[in-house]
Amino acid sequence: MLLSIKEMEVRKIAFAETWQPSEFDFTDSGVSQLAPLSAQGEAELFPNTGGELRIKGRVKSVLSTECDRCLAATTYTVDAPFDLFYKPATELANAADEVALDDGEAEIGFYELPGLELEDILREQVLLQIPMQRLCRADCKGICPVCGANRNEVSCHCESHPGDDRWAALQSVHIERVS
């Protein structure tokens, strides 16, 4: 759905959209959608601001990804509000080579005509709700580096040999300090 700047010049654009799991693409992020993704909200253009706009709403879905430690399927429920501000990309082009941004401006995105794609905004907001370290549970034990067993399911008794054999020759070298 295109959030058209021309249409926002006349009125706010309200949206209430739902995408089935096969309709929204998260493949390059290692995430898959398990339940319909729904979004509700509105987009408005602020008058007399040179094209600044606000997109506010809520996104909901259920996602699946692999645990970073044990590779088991992990489910995340997303139910998050968003409140975003955008300015025309022409402001960047008209600015000097380097521009200092204050804290408020660091939170502003930029758009090009004819407008913004709602799907792109929602994809970003959904992915921001998934933790950087994706774990099936907080106490996940991971995979054994020796036998490859999932330590959450099996109690393996493998011995790990920390260190790198390539550096073994240096363990016998003693360096004397010269004063």
Q: Is residue 161 part of a domain?
A: no
Read off φ and ψ for residue 36, nearest 5 degrees.
-55, 140
Domain interval for residue 12: 2-128
- Give domain status of residue 92, yes or no: yes
Q: What's the rounded mean pLDDT across residues 121-147?
A: 90
Give the sign of the dihedral formed by CA 88, CA 93, CA 94, CA 97. Answer: positive
Per-residue CA distances from 111 to 61, 94, 147, 157, 176 (Å): 26, 14, 51, 56, 63
Q: Does the residue 49 lie in any domain?
A: yes
3-state secondary structure of 134: coil
How high does pLDDT run on average in the chain?
A: 84
CB 147 within 8 A of CB 155: no
Tens of pLDDT, residue by residue over 66-115, are 999 999 999 999 999 999 998 888 766 555 566 666 666 667 788 888 88
Q: 137 lies in a domain?
A: no
pLDDT at 19: 92
Counting the structural domains of the chain, the total is 1
DSSP conformation letters of 66-94: E-TTT--EEEEEEEEEEEEEEEETHHHHH
* Within a domain: 149: no
The answer to whether the CB of 63 falls within 8 A of the CB of 32 is yes
Q: Which of 31, 42, 35, 2 is nearest to 18 (CA)?
A: 35
Mean pLDDT for 2-6 is 85
pLDDT digits (tens, 9 = 90+) for 13-42: 999 999 998 788 887 888 889 999 999 999
DSSP β-bridge partners for residue 66: 73
Domain membership of residue 37 (yes or no) is yes
pLDDT at 160: 67
Decide if pLDDT at 45 tops 60.
yes
pLDDT at position 90 is: 79
> Does 152 reside within a domain?
no
The verdict on residue 107 lying in a domain is yes
